[in-house]
Amino acid sequence: MELIRGLHNLGPQHRPCVATIGAFDGVHLGHQAVIRKLQGKAKELALPATVIVFEPLPREYFAPLEAPARIMSFRDKFRALACLGVDRVLRIRFTPSLRSMSAQAFVDEVFVQGLGIQHIVLGDDFRFGNDRQGDYAFIKSQGRRYGYEASATETCEFDGERVSSTRIRAALAEGDFALAERLLSRPYRMSGKVIYGRQLGRELGFPTANLQLHRLRSPLSGVYAVTVTGGGLVDAPAVANVGTRPTVDDSIQANLEVHVLQGNPQLYGRHLEVTFLHKLRDEQKFASVDLLRGQIDRDAEAARRWLSEHTNGPASTDAD
């Protein structure tokens, strides 16, 4: 799958196409329905299927501290769309100039001149443009002017309720990973590159892998039983902390720290995928590092016990 990094990188080879546009945070069941319809139209017209996304997400641009926590990073979103068979992703940087662009100008510059869209598929709640005019009715009316067609995707429901990123965030906040998995059609995971931290976990006897999350806020907060894949590990049992490390840092930036429960793998610089299975407790601040050490010991034992009862046993290593 091709990643087109910005409007300035669009060329004649990217026209014409069939496209959709949206946040696609989570690439959940509703998004997957949009992608299936997109691919159906692309096959019918023998054209590439293109997904248009913004980075950062508009709500992150306007109010980063108040914006909804991201379900997934852009890298994970790109991988999920690739797994669904999308041909191209156009990533548009959300900037002051884009913020000020009207829906009409966006249609002219992106849909028509940039991509030569022949058909656009829209979700049930998408709007764009500084005037918020860019809804389905507007895009369809512009299609009559420019010669493209537009189609909407029906609301996707699960257990009588709409599937949405908001609903998934609520499930994750409650530690309901079973519901999140059903809405996503896959277990909930975070991934990132392991970076050097303060080495406090190693000093406490619990070496941790510190992952770059590439987001200010996380939909999770607390301590979790997880499995880890990457760096030679496959579904290795582990315990993870997601939060702001109030005992040692008390920052606002979300962090993900993972302690693998078997062995002492060397993971610096490796890219890991962490699958969340069960919430053990909320994040809390301790009066001393010694109290923190004691709680980490109890967390590791609780994770080990839960994983031994609910998964298929010990870690394995990648044959490669």
Judge contact between 184 and 154, C-beta under 8 A.
Answer: no
Percent over 90 (pLDDT), the chain? 69
Q: How many domains does the chain fold into?
A: 2
Residue 225 CB-density burial (10 A; 0-12 exposed, 13-18 middle, 19+ buried): buried
- On the question of pLDDT at 253 being above 90, the answer is no
DSSP 69: P
Are 23 and 145 found together in one domain? yes
pLDDT of residue 251: 58
Strand pairing report for 49-55 and 88-93: parallel
Q: Is residue 37 part of a domain?
A: yes
Q: Is residue 54 part of a domain?
A: yes
Q: How confident is the model at residue 180 (pLDDT cuts 50, 70, 90)?
A: very high
DSSP 153: P
Are 130 and 192 found together in one domain? no
Which pTM does this prediction carry?
A: 0.89
Judge contact between 49 and 39, C-beta under 8 A.
Answer: yes
CATH number of the domain encompassing residue 31: 3.40.50.620
Q: Is residue 6 part of a domain?
A: no
Are 151 and 204 found together in one domain? no
Q: Is residue 169 part of a domain?
A: no
Q: Is residue 240 part of a domain?
A: yes
Structure tokens at 284: 């809390």
pLDDT tens digits along 84-142: 999 999 999 998 888 899 999 999 999 999 999 999 999 877 887 776 778 899 999 99
The domain in which residue 18 lies consists of 14-158
For 66-80, 168-182, 207-221, 249-263, which range has the lowest pLDDT when averaged over its residues?
Answer: 249-263
Residue 222 CB-density burial (10 A; 0-12 exposed, 13-18 middle, 19+ buried): middle
